């Protein structure tokens, strides 16, 4: 699972929730390796792992804007970002409307 925009938060293990436009196939109990970037690597680039694997603990579909709260911003690794600012950042980087339905994935770090 790629975390290009939040690599620092994953390295610090301060991020335990992520929102994705896809990932509808994710299931509780899945174990995945967090990486900086998994797709679109240029010739000679290698996958950079971001610490230990993570286990998915919760998966649900929800409206991006409707689901964002101050607590959710903290879980996403942005404790000083407002919910509106987080939504703007998400849309700027991932596209789609502010009210789009996304997959909310909660996880824990495996040691």
The predicted structure's pLDDT at residue 3: 94
The predicted structure's pLDDT at residue 46: 83
Q: Domain 7-109 maps to which CATH number in 2.30.130.30, 1.10.3720.10, 3.30.1330.10, 2.30.30.830?
A: 2.30.130.30
Encode 44-72: b = buried (16+ Cβ within 10 Å), e = exposed.
eeeeeebbeebebeebeeeebbebbeeeb
The predicted structure's pLDDT at residue 44: 79
44-103 pLDDT per residue, tens: 778 889 999 999 999 999 999 999 999 999 999 999 999 999 999 999 999 999 999 999
Contact 77, 71 (CB under 8 A): no
Model confidence at 41: pLDDT above 80 = no
């Amino acid at each position: 699972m790629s975390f290009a925009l939040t690599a620092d938060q994953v390295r610090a293990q301060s991020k335990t929730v992520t929102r994705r436009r896809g990932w509808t196939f994710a299931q509780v109990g899945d174990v995945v390796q967090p990486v900086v970037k998994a797709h679109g690597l240029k010739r000679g680039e290698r996958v950079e792992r971001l610490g230990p694997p993570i286990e998915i603990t919760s998966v649900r579909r929800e409206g991006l804007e409707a689901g964002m709260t101050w607590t959710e911003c903290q879980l996403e690794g942005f404790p000083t970002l407002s919910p509106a600012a987080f939504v703007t950042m998400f849309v700027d980087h991932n596209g789609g409307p502010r009210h789009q339905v996304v997959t909310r994935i909660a996880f824990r770090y495996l040691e």
